[in-house]
């Protein structure tokens, strides 16, 4: 029997492609977080559709409401606007403090309990948003924490299959593997159709354009 | 003005002594987790009393209900008994998968948002329960993940002031600093008075006995 892998699935294009990649060789356990992000409804809706599509062995939605109270990120806080222009700060205002570490630590706990041997995460350090917790140095350090902080017999490895791919390459791999891009949501905003103006929409639009593939989801501007 | 420190405060004797230590040099932000532990009511009650005692600048209770659904630990699952005898397994059944990593990652996020520079955690690797995420190697690896996974200007350090002390020494330091041991709860069980039989009660009773100090809380057996 194939081994079990957890995939962190936000419902964005990167994590959806990661799910397609993981599904080639593993039984799937899909993990989604609702942490107060503005696009929470769309992401949840897409996650549920992706669960129907991938038919994983397990699927779990974890609610982390504390970020909403703490604020500090334009991805979450209603008092901060999602930016449309390049920001001057090194780290964009959409950065959510240590988010990937929280996601990975909860994924690790679940993996240890259900016996999963891999955790797939769709971080990317090429066409990326500049978040520190998306870089390979961080992932390597976290891997070490997993190895030292779990039972001696537990073997869990973080897999980052798209970390060094361009967004264009990610689209191409997704097309090849049949990733259902029409069921994904990348926009930072909670709108009926993607805004096309936030950093995440811009990266996605650029990716499909460069890959010479039509993005199947509608945009407010095109 | 003194710097701000987060203290992970379960309400057990170790974390209470840690709070006393942190309060010497820092403004306090106390962080408590309710993660489905059997002793949740007692721990929460004690946390609230400790907040009244220490009068921190901030206090936060985080609810993580998913462990209750996942099971796998006798500290949480109603289907598993809290053991009273030495267990044969290397890691006791009370181990909660990767718990300290989850606590530390959420503490780090909060620290980055509120500007705290230290995270105090009362882990101890001398008279301890054998949990892998209590050892200094794990803490060092996690410290590296914090440094690499947060903003470049963020400086957060994990402080483990009692990691190499015996339980006896921890009691003595607590007495010296005025730790309110009468407001703490160490028992793994949800009983009106501490059971005196679980591994946590046994370690605590041994500590007070060796320190030649009377434990101010009542026990079912003495």
In a domain, A42, yes or no: yes
Interface probe with B: pick from A66, A98, A136, A148, most Cβ of B within 10 Å:
A98
pLDDT of residue B211: 97
Whole-model pTM: value is 0.96
Please give the average per-residue pLDDT across A124-148, as a whole number.
91
pLDDT of chain B, 222 residues: tens digit per residue: 999 999 999 999 999 999 999 999 999 999 999 999 999 999 999 999 999 999 999 999 999 999 999 999 999 999 999 998 776 667 899 999 999 999 999 999 999 999 999 999 999 988 777 889 999 999 999 999 999 999 999 999 999 999 999 999 999 999 999 999 999 999 999 899 999 999 999 999 999 999 999 999 999 975
Which of B105-137 are b and which e, b meaning 16 or more Cβ less than 10 Å from the residue's Cβ?
A: bbbbbbbbbbebebbbbbbbbebeeebbbbbee
Q: Could you tell me the pLDDT band of residue A141, with boundaries at 50, 70 and 90?
A: very high
Output the average pLDDT for chain A.
Answer: 94
Residue of chain B minimizing CA distance to A115 = B72
Number of domains composing chain B: 1
Half-sphere exposure of A24 (CA within 13 A, CB side): 13
Contact: A141, B144; criterion CB under 8 Å: yes
Which has the minimum average pLDDT: A69-73, A114-118, B6-10, B181-185? A69-73
Phi-psi region of B99 (alpha: psi -120 to 50; beta: other; left: phi over 0): alpha
pLDDT digits (tens, 9 = 90+) for A17-41: 999 999 999 999 999 999 999 999 9
Does residue B222 lie within any of the structural domains? no
If you measure CA to CA, which chain A residue comes closest to B62? A66
Is B190 contained in some domain? Answer: yes
Any domain includes B11: yes
Lookup: tokens for A117 = 């041997």
The answer to whether position A218 is within a domain reads no
Amino acid B127: pLDDT: 75
> Cβ neighbours of residue A175 under 8 Å, at least 6 residues apart?
A211, A213
Exposure string for B202-212, b = 16+ CB within 10 A, e = fewer: ebbbebbeebe
Can you read off the two tokens belonging to residue A54?
């991938």
Q: List the domain range (segments joined by +) for residue B91.
A: 4-211
Mean pLDDT in residue range A159-183: 97
Asked whether residue B219 is domain-assigned, the answer is no
Looking at the domain assignment, is residue A115 inside a domain? yes
* Residue B77's CATH number: 3.40.50.620
Verify whether the Cβ–Cβ distance B150 to A133 is below 8 Å. Answer: yes
Cβ of B67 within 8 Å of Cβ of A95? The answer is no
Residue contact B101–A145, C-beta within 8 A: yes
Cα dihedral sign, B182-B186-B191-B193: negative
Window from A75-89, A164-178, A187-201 with minimum mean pLDDT = A75-89
Measure in Å the smallest separation between the Cα of A32 and chain B Cα atoms: 13
Sheet holding B118-120, edge to edge: B58-63, B27-34, B4-8, B118-120, B157-159
* Angstrom distance (rounded) from CA B71 to CA B79: 8
In chain A, residues with a C-beta closer than 8 Å to the C-beta of B34 are none
**Cβ separation A70–B113 shorter than 8 A:** yes
Q: Which residues of B touch A100 (CB under 8 A)?
A: 149
- Reference A178, options A8, A16, A12; nearest CA is A16
A156: pLDDT strictly greater than 70:
yes
Q: How much is the average pLDDT of A167-189? A: 97
Of the candidates B99, B133, B150, the beta carbon closest to that of A132 is on B150
Nearest CB partner across the interface for A101, out of B110, B114, B145: B145
Q: How confident is the model at residue A139 (pLDDT cuts 50, 70, 90)?
A: very high
* pLDDT number for residue B88: 64
| Mean pLDDT for the stretch of residues A102-109 | 98
What pLDDT, on the 0 to 100 scale, is given for residue A222?
57
Contact B100 A135 (CB under 8 A): no
> Which chain A residues contact residue B133 at CB under 8 A?
149-150
Among B90, B101, B110, beta carbon nearest to A70: B110
Question: Which candidate in A35, A109, A156 is best for mutational testing of the B interface (most B CBs within 10 A)?
Answer: A109
The answer to whether ipTM exceeds 0.90 is yes
Place of tokens 């097309």: A175
Q: B-chain residues within 8 Å CB-CB of A148?
A: 132, 135, 137-138, 141
- pLDDT of res. B168: 96
Compare all CA atoms of chain B with the CA of A93 and give the residue at the minimum distance.
B151
**Would residue A176 count as lying in a domain?**
yes
């Amino acid at each position: 029997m194939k081994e079990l892998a957890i995939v962190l699935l936000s419902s964005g294009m990167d994590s959806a492609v990661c799910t397609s990649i993981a599904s080639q060789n593993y039984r799937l356990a899909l993990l989604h977080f609702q942490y107060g992000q503005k696009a929470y409804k769309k992401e949840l809706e897409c996650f549920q559709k992706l669960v129907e599509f991938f038919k994983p062995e397990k699927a779990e939605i974890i609610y982390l409401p504390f970020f909403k109270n703490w604020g500090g990120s334009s991805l979450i806080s209603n008092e901060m606007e999602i930016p449309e222009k390049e920001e001057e700060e090194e780290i964009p205002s959409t950065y959510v403090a240590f988010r990937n570490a929280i996601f990975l630590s909860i994924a690790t706990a679940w993996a240890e309990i259900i016996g999963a041997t891999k955790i797939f995460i769709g971080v990317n350090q090429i066409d990326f948003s500049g978040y520190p917790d998306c870089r390979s140095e961080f992932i390597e350090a976290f891997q070490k924490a997993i190895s030292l902080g779990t039972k001696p017999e537990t073997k869990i490895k973080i897999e980052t299959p798209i970390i060094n791919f361009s967004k264009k390459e990610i689209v191409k791999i997704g097309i090849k593997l049949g990733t259902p891009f029409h069921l994904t949501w990348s926009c930072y905003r909670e709108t009926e159709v993607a805004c096309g103006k936030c950093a995440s929409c811009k990266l996605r639009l650029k990716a499909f354009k460069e890959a010479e593939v039509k993005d199947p989801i509608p945009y407010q501007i095109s």
